[in-house]
Structures are given as structure tokens and as C-alpha cells.
């Protein structure tokens, strides 16, 4: 029996995650669901953004669905982002960000790409300090081990997608040690996997331009943490924006699905939150972690059917409830 740790988090996470879980249960009626807490509200209540009990439940279940997190704009003593903590404490070293065209929502109909982002290193390790009163310094960490790990995942994903192109995105012309190590480690692993003939490279600024100009040319992109964060949000334009952007934080034997959107406190509790990103994140959990490709296909087809047959204006108002009912009727 599969187990799922549900972490709604803050704001609209409290609405979209339960909706996505009910849809997932239609596909996996025997799924064992347990709840846990994390986020800014959790920190305000108990002094921890991610309690140890939440980490333990995630380890026991081996799979989770996270909603959204609110974060303060200024540094708060003792607080660290809940999602960054979960990624690093659970060694969720790869972030999966698919971008595809959807009916009604996408500016063009021919986009189907996936960005693999290294999820544990780079500038997101949280090592910052004031060198003087006027100079702040942040450290960027790139390791051979993490680079080889994401390259191995890229080989796995490339075969699942029948990819014809793998693009390594870096800035080795300016950062020859860190980006150079990333690029060379990835190239070696992909060559050993017999995929060197489909590997190419782009500098990150060129990749950004080409994702705007001709996104249909890309298939599978592999990059470092900060670059992947920015490029995947940029590319989400082609799938209808961050409200339609799913992701999967993927480790060894453990994974956490996570819609990319924020906690949207302005609409929290109104019933207007769109649960599709949470639902599509659950589909990534099905496909890549649990290896339930057929169920993932069914879920994605139900989303496509909804967006083909129901107009966006019909989803206004009680969006969360209407979308959930429409999906359940198609499964």
C-alpha cells in the first residue's frame, strides 16, 4: 500500500491540497494518507517551520504533497523557508518542472519541455554573511556528487520521455570552476549512459532568450539550482503561468510533490484557488516516483479534457470545487 504525507502549508495550500488528494484517491483508493504541518503559520505557532515530526512522517511515507508557504519579506530570527528545509533535510536533490501547452491557457500549442533543476546546492545553501557593514557575501556550492546525481536522473527521464535532446544550461564562461564542474560531471554521466549524441549546451542567458523566442525547440533541460528556479518560472508562461505549474522534489526513495504557486493570502478561504497545479504535481508523483505511468496519463488527460470542454469563465467563482468535481467526473 502506498502512503502519502499531506502538508497543506499556508494560505491556499489549505484548499488546493485536500482537493488534489481527493482526486488522487479516485485513482488510488487504497492510498494511506497522513497529515503533517509546515510553513510560516506553523513557525508562528510552535517556533519551527518544519517540526521534526513532519520530517519523520515524510521519511516513513516516502512520498508527500506540499501546498504553499508564506515567508516574511525580512529576515526573522530562527526562521528558514519550510520548502528549502524539506528539500535539504530529506535530500530531495532533483526538482522536476514540466512545461507543456494546455488548451485555452497557453499562448502556443507546441510546447512540451521539462526542466531538471539541481535542488540542494548552489546559492540556496543559505551561507550568507556580512563581510563588512557595506558588503554582503553569499557562497555558491557545486559538488561532483550532486551534479552526477542529477545527470543520472536526466538519463532516466530522457528514456521515459523518449527525449531527442538534452540541454545542459550553465555559465561556465564566467564561472569556470563551479559551472565547469557541473557541466563536465553531467557530460561524463550522460556519455556513460550512451546519450552523448543528444547532449548540447546553452549559456543561461542564451537559454533564457531561446525559451522566450522558440520554446518548442527544447526537450529536456538540466541545470543548477538558481538558474533552474528562474528558467522554470520563465518557461511556465507557455503553460498558462505559475497557477498551472507543477513540480516534484525527487530524492532516493522519497519525493515531495509541490505546486509552484505561492500561498496567495489575498484569495485564501474564498474558494477561488485553482487546484490544477497541485493535481498535476500529484501526477508527477505518480509518474516518476511511484512509476504509475498509466494513472499519471489518466490524470493529465482529465486536466486536458477539462480545459478543452469547460471555459475559463465557467471556472470563476467556486474554482476549487468546480475544478475538483470536473476532474472526478472524468476519471
Residue of 32, 110, 196, 205 marked active site: 205
C-alpha pair distances (Å), 97 with each of 129, 239, 296 = 31, 11, 15
Contact 259, 248 (CB under 8 A): no
Contact 282, 23 (CB under 8 A): yes
Q: What is the pLDDT of residue 317?
A: 78
Residue of 41, 171, 288, 292 marked active site: 171
**Distance between CA atoms of residues 150 and 267, nearest Å:** 36
Residue of 229, 266, 288, 292 marked active site: 229
- Nearest alpha carbon to residue 118 among 159, 139, 149, 156: 149
- Nearest alpha carbon to residue 323 among 253, 270, 274: 274
Q: Which domains does the chain have, with CATH numbers?
A: 1-105+242-331 (3.40.718.10), 107-239 (3.40.718.10)
Residues pairing with 63 in the sheet: 255
Contact 145, 94 (CB under 8 A): no
One DSSP character per residue, 6-33 reads: EEEESTTHHHHHHHHHHHHHHH-TT-EE
Cβ burial 47-79 (10 Å sphere, 16+ → b, else e):
ebbbbeebbebbeebbbbbbbbbbbeeeeeeeb
**Distance between CA atoms of residues 172 and 224, nearest Å:** 12
What is the mean pLDDT of each successive set of 10 residues along the chain, which is 331 residues long? 96 96 97 96 94 98 96 86 93 97 95 97 93 97 98 97 97 98 98 98 98 98 98 97 96 97 93 96 98 97 95 82 95 94
Strand, coil or helix: 39: coil
C-alpha pair distances (Å), 103 with each of 215, 225, 311, 327 = 17, 30, 10, 15
Q: What is the pLDDT of residue 313?
A: 77
pTM: 0.94
Residue of 112, 184, 219, 233 marked active site: 233
Q: What is the pLDDT of residue 312?
A: 76
Q: What is the pLDDT of residue 71?
A: 84
Where do we find the cell 516513513?
60
Long-range contacts of 266-270 (CB under 8 A, 24+ apart): 267/12, 268/11, 268/12, 268/14, 268/15, 269/15
Q: Would you call 171 a catalytic residue per the annotation?
A: yes
Can you read off the three cell numbers belonging to residue 214?
522558440
Q: Would you call 229 a catalytic residue per the annotation?
A: yes
Q: What is the pLDDT of residue 228?
A: 98
DSSP code, position 292: -
Q: Would you call 110 a catalytic residue per the annotation?
A: no
Cβ burial 29-41 (10 Å sphere, 16+ → b, else e):
eeeebeebbbbbb
Residues pairing with 99 in the sheet: 113
Contact 39, 13 (CB under 8 A): yes
Q: Would you call 124 a catalytic residue per the annotation?
A: yes
- Nearest alpha carbon to residue 210 among 202, 222, 198: 202
Amino acid at each position: 500500500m502506498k502512503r502519502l504525507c499531506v502538508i497543506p502549508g499556508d494560505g491556499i495550500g489549505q484548499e488546493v491540497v485536500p482537493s488534489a488528494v481527493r482526486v488522487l484517491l479516485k485513482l488510488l483508493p487504497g492510498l494511506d494518507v497522513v497529515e503533517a504541518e509546515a510553513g510560516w503559520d506553523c513557525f508562528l505557532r510552535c517556533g519551527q517551520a518544519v517540526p521534526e515530526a513532519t520530517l519523520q512522517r515524510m521519511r516513513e511515507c516516502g512520498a508527500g504533497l506540499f501546498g504553499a508557504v508564506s515567508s516574511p519579506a525580512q529576515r526573522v530570527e530562527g526562521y528558514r523557508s519550510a520548502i528549502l528545509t524539506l528539500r535539504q533535510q530529506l535530500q530531495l536533490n532533483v526538482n522536476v518542472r514540466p512545461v507543456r501547452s494546455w488548451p485555452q491557457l497557453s499562448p502556443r500549442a507546441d510546447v512540451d519541455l521539462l526542466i531538471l533543476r539541481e535542488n540542494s546546492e548552489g546559492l540556496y545553501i543559505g551561507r550568507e554573511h556580512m563581510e563588512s557593514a557595506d558588503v554582503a557575501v553569499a557562497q555558491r556550492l557545486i559538488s561532483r556528487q550532486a551534479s552526477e546525481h542529477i545527470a543520472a536522473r536526466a538519463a532516466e527521464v530522457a528514456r521515459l520521455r523518449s527525449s531527442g535532446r538534452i540541454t545542459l544550461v550553465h555559465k561556465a564562461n564566467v564561472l569556470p570552476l563551479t559551472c565547469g564542474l557541473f557541466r563536465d560531471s553531467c557530460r561524463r554521466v550522460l556519455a556513460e549512459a550512451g546519450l552523448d549524441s543528444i547532449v548540447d549546451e546553452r549559456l543561461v542567458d542564451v537559454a533564457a532568450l531561446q525559451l522566450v523566442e522558440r520554446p518548442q525547440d527544447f526537450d529536456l533541460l538540466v541545470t543548477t539550482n538558481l538558474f533552474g528556479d528562474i528558467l522554470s518560472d520563465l518557461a511556465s508562461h507557455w503553460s498558462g503561468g505559475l497557477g498551472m505549474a507543477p513540480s516534484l522534489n525527487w530524492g532516493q526513495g522519497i519525493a515531495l510533490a509541490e505546486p509552484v504557486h505561492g500561498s496567495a493570502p489575498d484569495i485564501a478561504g474564498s474558494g477561488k484557488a485553482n487546484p490544477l497545479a497541485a493535481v498535476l504535481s500529484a501526477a508527477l508523483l505518480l509518474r516518476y516516483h511511484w512509476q504509475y505511468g498509466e494513472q499519471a496519463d489518466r490524470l493529465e488527460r482529465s486536466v486536458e479534457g477539462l480545459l478543452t470542454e469547460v471555459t475559463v469563465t465557467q471556472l470563476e467563482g467556486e474554482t476549487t470545487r468546480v475544478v475538483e468535481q470536473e476532474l472526478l467526473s472524468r476519471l
